[in-house]
Amino acid sequence: MWYNVDVRGQETSVSSRTSQANRADQTGERVEIYDTTLRDGSQGEGVNFSLEDKIRIARKLDEFGMDYIEGGWPGSNPKDIEFFERMKREPLHHSKLAAFGSTRRPARKAADDELIRMLVDADTPVVTIFGKSWDFQVTHALKVELPENVEMIHDTVAFLKSRVGEVVYDAEHFFDGYKHNPDYAVECVKAAWDAGASILVLCDTNGGTMPYEIGDILRELRDRLPEARLGIHTHDDAACGVANALSAVRAGAVHVQGTVNGYGERCGNANLMPIIANLRLKLGYECLRPDSLTHLTGLSQFVDEVANLTPNSRQAYVGRSAFAHKAGVHVDSIMKHSRTYEHVSPECVGNTRRMLVSELSGGSTIVSKARKYDLDLNKKSPQTRALLKRVAELEHEGYSFEGAEASFELLLMQTAGSYRKLFNVDGFRVIVEKRGDGEPITEATVKIRVDGQERLTVAEGDGPVHALDSALRKALMEFFPELCDIRLTDFKVRVVNVREGTAAKVRTIIDSTSHERTWSTVGVSTNMIEASWHALVDAVAYGLVIRDS
């Protein structure tokens, strides 16, 4: 393979690393990855994890091979206390679990601060403490004298170090503080180091620092505190979260904090998905387990699903569109050699290449799709031409296969004669009833046939599409029990020819998932429910086609 997962020694990374001293590389130290999806990530707008969600994600991160998992802030809410209670009973296998909290409150001892006690009670191998390093924040937000803040850091870290295996120190607003008063910022982190912190994690809390500033400040700090191990925690407010983390690693950081898919307050935390991929594939560092990288896309999808958030299809490396090719000329070249339009192979991050079907694409797209099903088509064959013609007709009617490859693949299999229809749909009926101020009730009836046996089933749902989905599944489940694994995850409706007013057609796209595979199907009609029905039937048919692959 021309671009292997392990590219240490590849030309580009060698030349870029030899030009600059690099500590992780010089010492042979690997870069540690610290996930804070469950703490900092859960502070993002629209992210709400239940206790069970948190446990599922922690297990998944553990299985993935994450070095550290920050589980929450026991002092901030009862759910996090309960989370740590549960984790005591079912410990992680690989990752180190961290409880997060702040330095002790002013004018008391860490040993007497009940919030610090709660961190000890969480009984985790690691406690992460954040403290202030910006003089302005100390005097204006914390409202204590500058030396008192330094004492709070030292006392808190020293006390916890005597009770907990490892103390990570997060220096909040470090870069802003350093720019404002470098001596004080250094004094603060030095206090944590002297008190026994295993690492000093420099935080760009407001997310506004530029990558070159991060590198410069890291290098200066290394000169001033050569004995300390340094880490980085960045935010994406200037769209530099990932770049800043990488810049810090190149300047000597050996520990990177971030979240899955970049969840987090405001614009989010640094996204660990591209950080992990870039560290391994571009910068040539060792991090996580050798096999972790191939599970990156699966992890990203899993967390979006648990969080019930629509995945960002344009996300680097792991997004659905990350390896999607549309223009005919690109598809043509990609099939000759994937390197022509891809910077790495999709397989190395667990993603897949997609050839998008649209009027822009030519025979190459169809030929490449056909290969997936062992169908022998070539660009000039009559079947390929017939299919292109059919796609053009359907697109004229309002279909778009660009975001609905599953419907396209069904069409392809039908044209090639390789599709065996497993069920027939005879019809459906949907009733929506609303009385007074009550919630509307939706009921759907569907009639299907499987091997000559007819079934008529009724189901209720939250709206017509959900009711139809439930009724269709209920009818088919008896014949295909594996349908219980397929879930409808997203549903989009768009008006496609607005100019024709009332006769406008709607296009419905339905996303479905099963065992970390997702697919999309499309339906078009002047009636929104009928459009959804077409997309639903395709979704189930496709789910049955791929169940064994």
CB of 318 to Zn ion, least distance (A): 21
Nearest-10 crossing angle of helices 272-281, 241-250: 40
Q: Which of residues 109-138 bind Zn ion (CB under 5 A)?
A: none
CB of 66 to Zn ion, least distance (A): 17
CB of 39 to Zn ion, least distance (A): 9
CB of 20 to Zn ion, least distance (A): 27
Task: Tell me if 68 sits within 8 A of 287, measured CB to CB.
Answer: no
Of the pair 14, 141, the CB lying nearest Zn ion is at 141
| Distance, CA of 370 to CA of 538 (rounded, Å) | 18
- Map tokens 């065996």 to a residue: 420
Of the pair 40, 80, the CB lying nearest Zn ion is at 40
Phi, then psi, of 335 in degrees rounded to 5:
-70, -30
Q: Which of residues 310-339 bind Zn ion (CB under 5 A)?
A: none
Of the pair 13, 137, the CB lying nearest Zn ion is at 137
Q: Which of residues 435-464 bind Zn ion (CB under 5 A)?
A: none
Nearest-10 crossing angle of helices 51-64, 296-307: 180
Residues 6+ apart with CB under 8 A from 235: 204, 205, 206, 207, 241, 264, 265, 266, 267, 268, 269, 270
Of the pair 270, 467, the CB lying nearest Zn ion is at 270
CA atoms within 13 A on the CB side of 381: 13
Q: Which of 480, 477, 543 is nearest to 510 (CA)?
A: 543
Residues 6+ apart with CB under 8 A from 359: 391, 392, 395
| Distance, CA of 359 to CA of 238 (rounded, Å) | 37
Of the pair 68, 428, the CB lying nearest Zn ion is at 68
| Distance, CA of 403 to CA of 124 (rounded, Å) | 44
CB of 253 to Zn ion, least distance (A): 15
Element (H, E) at 149: helix 146-163
Of the pair 40, 405, the CB lying nearest Zn ion is at 40
| Distance, CA of 484 to CA of 421 (rounded, Å) | 19
Residues 6+ apart with CB under 8 A from 438: none
CB of 464 to Zn ion, least distance (A): 42
| Dihedral angle over CA of 53, 55, 56, 58, nearest 10 | 120
How many residues in the chain? 549
Size of the site for Zn ion (CB under 5 A): 1
Phi, then psi, of 117 in degrees rounded to 5:
-60, -40
Which residue's Cβ has the minimum distance to Zn ion? 40
Of the pair 43, 333, the CB lying nearest Zn ion is at 43
Q: Which of residues 29-48 bind Zn ion (CB under 5 A)?
A: 40
Of the pair 36, 297, the CB lying nearest Zn ion is at 36
Q: Which of residues 38-97 bind Zn ion (CB under 5 A)?
A: 40
CB of 440 to Zn ion, least distance (A): 42
| Distance, CA of 157 to CA of 140 (rounded, Å) | 23
CB of 290 to Zn ion, least distance (A): 29
Of the pair 258, 543, the CB lying nearest Zn ion is at 258
Our finding on whether 170 is near Zn ion (CB under 5 A) is: no
Q: Which of residues 5-24 bind Zn ion (CB under 5 A)?
A: none
CB of 134 to Zn ion, least distance (A): 14
Of the pair 236, 409, the CB lying nearest Zn ion is at 236
Phi-psi region at 350: left, alpha or beta (left = phi > 0; alpha = psi -120 to 50): left
| Distance, CA of 60 to CA of 303 (rounded, Å) | 9
CB of 79 to Zn ion, least distance (A): 19
Of the pair 83, 263, the CB lying nearest Zn ion is at 263
CB of 501 to Zn ion, least distance (A): 50
Residues found near Zn ion in the complex (CB under 5 A): 40
